[in-house]
Structure 1
Amino acid sequence: MDKYAVVSDIHGDSGMLKMLINRAIKESAKAILCLGDIGLSQSADIVDSIRSSSLPFSIVRGNCDSAWDFSNVSMHMPPKYKTVELGDRTIFFTHGDSIKVWHDAPVHLLQNDIFAFGHTHVPILYRDDKSPWILNPGSASRPRCNCDPSMAFVTNEEIRIVSILTGMVLKKGLQWL
């Protein structure tokens, strides 16, 4: 079964990046979807960790990610959004600073699709009767809530937001309808 790790707002914290990569490996994730604000210029370890990871990273840029940050480390500037397929579902992911709500996404999202964004540093997981799943994995380094640094795991059967430090489930989506 395919599983994606979803992370956001690392902000140069190389220790948390290493921890989240290890957690994603333990969870048998296929890849890491990074929703921006990586902090490439804040630590050389960030670039080394991304390049040496056994899991591929799919990155979108955040409001704190500059063209200089990426060119300075010989990485291409990532786009503002991407999509990946998970079975018959689409995961649309963006940082959330310019595309703030799911109905502004430049792709048509269905009820069982996922709109993933970061930027707020607060873990969010919900769906109403007309929207796709709304997912914010929280911040990997600077949570703005009374919770641990967090990340999410998405499979065809569930969405979980977990503590990077302990693995404890912070929020869990119901099984797909």
Structure 2
Amino acid sequence: MKKNILRRLAMKIFVMSDIHGSSYFLKKALEAYKKEEAKYILILGDELYHGPRNPLPLEYNPKEVADILNNYKDKIIAVRGNCDSEVDQMMLQYPILGDYSTIFFKEKRIFVTHGHVYSEENLPNICEGDIFMYGHTHLPVAYEKDGIYRLNPGSISLPKGGNVNSYGILEDNYFCIKSLDGDIIKEIEIK
């Protein structure tokens, strides 16, 4: 019984990035969110627009994506991606225009950003043991370097580098990246 109580107290965060207006892959990601039984959804930018350098993703429909995401507005924490604009904010019922956000989770500070302003080459002022979480590259990343955890869930709609469509799960002292089918791609223990 005690284990079940502890399980209910643990918070799980579903992390996704780079939706780029794909209603198809957003629906797949939200199926995974429900299956994971996560409490919150963290979106690392590029919700609605595909951007001029990207191909059109499957079932490109920014209006439908906005409508779907607005159903989860009380569960979403989001930051602005390089393809997000004030027009996108007018469609969404949760804030997206901050270049970064800070979340405190399990005695850790998580610096959340898209990755086009702050990046692995241009880290913000964070401390050893902190977490730098970003999107933008469409590449799944989970490692520690110089005492800072670097985490990127990849892209749910337009993965790059031969990777699969993916999302992240942050729970307790653990972060993993999963395919939309739920297979673990990368994982790391956060000490």
Q: Name the TM-score class by shorter chain.
A: 0.7 to 0.9
In the other structure, the counterpart of 1:58 is 77
Q: Which portions of structure 1, spanning 4 or more consecutive aligned residues, are displaced by more than 4 angstroms?
A: 72-77
In the other structure, the counterpart of 1:122 is 139
**Bigger CA radius of gyration:** 2
Percent identity over the alignment is 33
Matches within 5 A, 1:1-177: 1-39=10-48, 42-53=61-72, 56-72=75-91, 76-101=95-120, 104-106=123-125, 108-111=126-129, 113-128=130-145, 130-164=146-180, 166-173=181-188, 175-177=189-191
Residue identity matched to 1:124:
V
Which 5+ residue runs of structure 2 have no aligned equivalent? 1-9, 51-60
8 Å CA contact 2:18, 2:138 repeated in 1: yes
What's the TM-score once normalised by structure 2's chain length?
A: 0.82
Give the Å deviation of 1:99: 0.6
Whole-Å Cα distance in 2 between the matches of residues 75 and 157 of structure 1?
27
8 Å CA contact 2:149, 2:190 repeated in 1: no
Whole-Å Cα distance in 2 between the matches of residues 55 and 162 of structure 1?
24
CA RMSD of aligned residues (A): 2.1
8 Å CA contact 1:5, 1:32 repeated in 2: yes
